[in-house]
Chains A and B, each alone.
Chain A
């Protein structure tokens, strides 16, 4: 028996919006410690890693480890029918082939019940090595979304370079070039507006706009986003989900064509 209850169903909605660009379906691994999802997009360029801790839920029970394979478009349909501020309870029997969602409205006496078929999916488990990143940039998530959106108009890829002066995003294409520089700024009154750069070594890496833009869909989840970079290692973009866990994206860099 698996049961998880969350007072604010909107968080789930936001998580779904943040991953359904990259993934069509996903296998949610439910265990005693929480719910996890790890999946690569179709072309094996990026990876989504979602971790929701069990103690972040208002009620959590998982007797046996369970894999819930779901079509994310269908799941989004279910959550679309939930109201603002609804409480959601997710339930599945052991060995079940469906999962049920119950939404309780806050203001009125209304309960909606949805049941969705599960899917049986191929799962590829990836081992992610621990990396000592040379640069860790923490910045307002809305700022990140804005910069990526603006620069995407100039080219297909964005160069992110981090030096001790700050971090620079640049793109170039047929119409010209664009550069955005951010220096470290610490704002004590509004911590979420701070830009914090922790640099061991300067790094410059190139990434495809398409994916960076998809990651920005997670902006509503968190005020801040963390970009971790290291030479020849995928970029990690992390959104912390307050009190519940995190949503991380990994993205393989673009490499220069000369090694052959």
Chain B
């Protein structure tokens, strides 16, 4: 689930760290995709008249449709995706997982009620809440990816942590997930909305951790503590302390230990047996496979294998599958365009200086005949 309200906080205190871009600007980049997250998206989004796509036996195929077409779209844009699957959840996530289970049970109840009442909109809504990515779904996807010639990795533990480790090692450019905790794990570049449907026309959000830290004036250690305070998957947080208060406290005291010493424990009682140290340790030293031992290989798609896999009892249209494979082969066949920033080093960026509030102040003087009177516009040095 990531970090509670982190996106909103970033938009408020570090607006420059979020850039909106288009898919085509990522050509030539190797990008790790959080597979569980994208499968979940596909199961929810790839539907027809509110129901998941299935074959004649009622087995779901939404995740395969999604993986097939959206991976093709990435490859057509010159992106080299690598899917990373979750391993065992860390023990500390138990609490969070229990909570999710309770929520599912509630949704199931609500669904039954809605079915009885015959309220279709409600049924759809709760149906979506009950969506779960099973081991079966993941295994089918892995098989499909193998046939498509796209590499995947099975993380020993959390997929985001594995992605972050690979970004840090320079193996890949960015992590694509909706979960903000990829940043907490230290992934320098985070892409959101990458696997969204083309029809939604959602711009891709690119978040840079180094800009986040610079704008917030925090170190990575302090940032991790901030995320724990705001609420992560691994432990509870202090009731009554939200994003705004968290960042103030971190800026003032630098770490959770010192915050606990100074806050009024009656007003803000910390959770019982609060294991923030354990959560911190999970973020700092997560269980990952050494990125250096991972070999990423994008290979030739297996056309016949794919047709057999998808068009057999999964009942995909053979024409469409063959068309998709043609696109795959075309994307592979042409030589790829290199990026200029791979040759020249970026010496530094001068961000635009003028902030939104300055702009308002400046508007009257802009219309003045003599031009700027010298006030307002920040001078980049």
Residues of A at the B interface (CB closer than 8 Å) are: 40, 42-47, 67, 69, 92-100, 115, 117-118, 120-129, 156-157, 206, 208, 233-234, 250-257, 260
Contact = CB atoms under 8 A, between A and B. Distances in A.
Contacts of B343: 233-234, 252
B242 interface: no
A145 to B, nearest CB: 22
A40 B341 contact: yes
Nearest to B27: A43
A204 to B, nearest CB: 12
Contacts of B336: 254-255, 257
Given A117-B366, A260-B297, A124 B349 contact: yes
Contact of A97 (B346, B348, B349, B377): B377
Contacts of B341: 40, 44, 126
Interface in B309-359: 332, 334-354
A252 B339 contact: yes
In this complex, which of A42, A96, A118 has the most chain B Cβ atoms within 10 angstroms of its Cβ? Answer: A96
In this complex, which of A69, A98, A118 has the most chain B Cβ atoms within 10 angstroms of its Cβ? Answer: A98
A97 B370 CA distance: 11
Q: Size range of the interface on B?
A: 35 or more
Interface in B360-377: 362, 365-366, 371-377
B362 A97 contact: yes
Contacts of A126: 340-341, 344-347
Contacts of A123: 349-350, 380
B296 to A, nearest CB: 7
Given A98-B366, A122-B349, A124-B349, A46 B340 contact: yes
8 contacts: A44-B25, A44-B339, A45-B338, A46-B340, A97-B366, A125-B348, A233-B343, A254-B335
A95 B349 contact: no
Given A97-B376, A122-B349, A234-B340, 11 more contacts: A69-B352, A95-B374, A122-B351, A127-B344, A127-B347, A250-B344, A252-B337, A252-B338, A255-B335, A257-B334, A257-B336
Contacts of B88: none
Interface of B: 24-25, 27, 80, 296-298, 332, 334-354, 362, 365-366, 371-380
Given A117-B366, A252-B339, A98 B372 contact: yes
A64 to B, nearest CB: 8
Contacts of A125: 346-350
In this complex, which of B298, B337, B377 has the most chain A Cβ atoms within 10 angstroms of its Cβ? Answer: B337
Contacts of B339: 44-45, 252
- Nearest first, the 7 A-B pairs at minimum CB distance are A96-B372, A120-B352, A97-B372, A98-B371, A252-B338, A120-B354, A123-B350
Contacts of B334: 156-157, 254, 257
A148 to B, nearest CB: 17
Contacts of A156: 334
A159 B25 CA distance: 24
A192 B347 CA distance: 37
A118 B353 CA distance: 13
In this complex, which of A92, A93, A233 has the most chain B Cβ atoms within 10 angstroms of its Cβ? Answer: A93
A44 B340 contact: yes
A257 B335 contact: yes
A171 to B, nearest CB: 13
A251 B371 CA distance: 38
A129 B342 CA distance: 12
A228 to B, nearest CB: 14
Contacts of A128: 344
Contact of B346 (A46, A124, A157, A208): A124
B363 to A, nearest CB: 10
A252 B27 CA distance: 13
Contacts of A46: 340
Nearest to A254: B335
Contact of A252 (B25, B340, B373): B340
A65 to B, nearest CB: 8
Contacts of B349: 122-125
Contact of A47 (B344, B350, B372): B344
Given A95-B375, A254-B335, A260 B340 contact: no
Contacts of B371: 92-93, 96-100, 115
Contacts of A92: 371
Nearest to A40: B340
A101 B368 CA distance: 16
Nearest to A118: B377
A257 B329 CA distance: 12
Contacts of B338: 45, 252-255
B145 to A, nearest CB: 15
A190 B342 CA distance: 40
B76 to A, nearest CB: 14
